Structure 1
Amino acid sequence: MTYIALILSVLVGVLIVFGLKPSNKTAQLLLAFSGAYLLSITILHLFPEVYSSEVSNIGLFILLGLLFQLVLDFFSKGAEHGHIHIQQNMLFPWALFISINIHAFMEGIPLAHNHHHEYLLWAIVIHKIPIAIILGTFFVSSNIPKIKAILFLVLFSIMSPLGSLAGENVQFLTIYKTEITAIIIGIFLHISTIILFETSKDHKFNLLKFVAILVGMFVAFLA
């Protein structure tokens, strides 16, 4: 069920691109909702989990996750939180390809240790749908060969399941599951806060985005 949900989240996002052709404004509202949900799940559930463990200096691992995502952002140009820029005569974005798949793989690892925590699975699923929409829109609008775009999206869809599978079977990941979860918390904090707290270009209050954030937080509170 976990693997299927993760793969379907990317497929749903791509189908939305081709079926509904959502506007950039719609994608940004979905992204705001997912960011609010992800941040709320992190604070309400993941924080208490790692801080109730016997691992010392857990905050250092959270900071490590923040720094690691900063490095990934340098290569992905912020694709994980909705920033993709199309350029004329653009070649296949290998840096984006590698960094966003590393991100997807890592966020799947804690699922191996939290099968009873459905809120974590749904946080990742809800986060992946708008990202898949943005990636799908990016590939449709660019001149990148379709076969490469399809392979990119297929690989992206299976990276989180592969991360979860590795978390179940790789001894190192099992032994240090709490520390790894803390690193993932740092990654989630970085992504979700950038999504939520970036100011608009005109620095005006966006009521629709605010409502999307409130709904995301409320749904996470009910989880």
Structure 2
Amino acid sequence: MILTILILIGCAILGGLSLKLIPGMKQNMRLSLIFAGSYLFAITIIHIIPELFTISTNPSKIGLYVLIGFFLQQFLEYFSSGVEHGHVHTNKAVTASGRFSIIVALMIHSLLEGTLLTHDSPFHEKHESYSLLLGIVLHKMPAAFALMATMQGLGKRAIYLLILFSLASPLGLVLSDFILLSEDSLLIVFAIVCGSFLHISTTIFVEASPDHHFGLNKILISLAGAVVAILVEFLI
């Protein structure tokens, strides 16, 4: 668990600091997002959804919670302005209350997604959740980048917000490990996160092609993301 926590914290910090450390990162962000969105969508389809419905004794109920998770994420993005899927806003356009809303919405989302990696997860019954961890990492790095790009006018306070964001998913993992939830309760949480992932990953595709033209390079990158998800899921 310690290694997983360090990975979650490290990927968020690295993603946020890449705004300053990697020249031109902002210009190449869209293609990176397409890869991450494709991976996240693929792992949701081939890993999370099948196991949710296989383990559950009431698939219709699980489907309802997936739907709730989808619209919960839409509600959270009303406050976060889409930072979860790499949407960047200029600091001038974000008020103090807006910055507070963004970080709170991001924290809620990250806390929930961290529960997927709990050691009590029924997803561990068949195999380790390396594919889930990689999916969260790929999703968290551009989110951290977008957070820092949105908050870059705050100076050192932006770093504090980045650190706070980096701790959210590990906190969700730790809390879900120490709070004794029934398997049914865990499945409900996982179904909600599943719906959230579906919303984020599909939104990335829409925003990546605002003119409804998905060029060959974007198609190849999205296919690469899906192929990597398949390889990680079935070979590791």
Common topology (TM > 0.5): yes
Task: Tell me the secondary structure at the aligned position of residue 172 of structure 1.
Answer: coil
Task: Tell me the secondary structure at the aligned position of residue 171 of structure 1.
Answer: coil
Match of 2:225 among 216, 220, 223: 216
Identity of counterpart residues, as a percentage?
A: 36
Do structure 1's residue 193 and structure 2's residue 205 form an aligned pair? no
CA distance in structure 1 between the partners assigned to 2:213 and 2:184 by the alignment: 47
CA distance in structure 2 between the partners assigned to 1:199 and 1:134 by the alignment: 15
Match of 1:72 among 65, 76, 79: 76
Do structure 1's residue 6 and structure 2's residue 8 form an aligned pair? yes
Q: Say what the alpha-carbon RMSD is for the aligned residues.
A: 1.8
**Range with greater deviation from structure 2 (213-222 or 79-88):** 79-88
1:97 deviates by 1.0
Partner of 1:101: 107
1:28 deviates by 1.1
Partner of 1:125: 137
Q: Which runs of 5+ in 1 are unaligned?
A: none
Matches of residues 5-154 of structure 1 in structure 2 within 5 Å? 5-56=7-58, 57-88=61-92, 90-92=94-96, 93-112=99-118, 113=121, 114=123, 116-140=128-152, 143-144=153-154, 146-154=155-163
Give the letter for the 2:116 counterpart: P
CA distance in structure 2 between the partners assigned to 1:206 and 1:25 by the alignment: 17
CA distance in structure 2 between the partners assigned to 1:199 and 1:101 by the alignment: 24
**Range with greater deviation from structure 2 (19-28 or 66-75):** 19-28
Task: Tell me the secondary structure at the aligned position of residue 29 of structure 1.
Answer: helix
Give the letter for the 2:40 counterpart: L
Task: Tell me the secondary structure at the aligned position of residue 101 of structure 1.
Answer: helix
1:16–1:22 contact (8 Å) kept in structure 2: no
1:175 deviates by 5.3
**Range with greater deviation from structure 2 (205-214 or 41-50):** 205-214
1:167–1:174 contact (8 Å) kept in structure 2: no
1:87 deviates by 4.9
2:30–2:208 contact (8 Å) kept in structure 1: no
Q: Aligned residues, how many?
A: 220
Task: Tell me the secondary structure at the aligned position of residue 22 of structure 1.
Answer: coil
CA distance in structure 2 between the partners assigned to 1:173 and 1:207 by the alignment: 46
Match of 1:158 among 167, 177, 192: 167
Give the letter for the 2:169 counterpart: S
**Range with greater deviation from structure 2 (81-90 or 48-57):** 81-90
Task: Tell me the secondary structure at the aligned position of residue 88 of structure 1.
Answer: helix
**Range with greater deviation from structure 2 (57-66 or 47-56):** 47-56
Change (3 A) 1:187 1:89: closer
CA distance in structure 1 between the partners assigned to 2:110 and 2:214 by the alignment: 32
Give the letter for the 2:83 counterpart: A
CA distance in structure 2 between the partners assigned to 1:199 and 1:32 by the alignment: 7
**Range with greater deviation from structure 2 (67-76 or 52-61):** 52-61
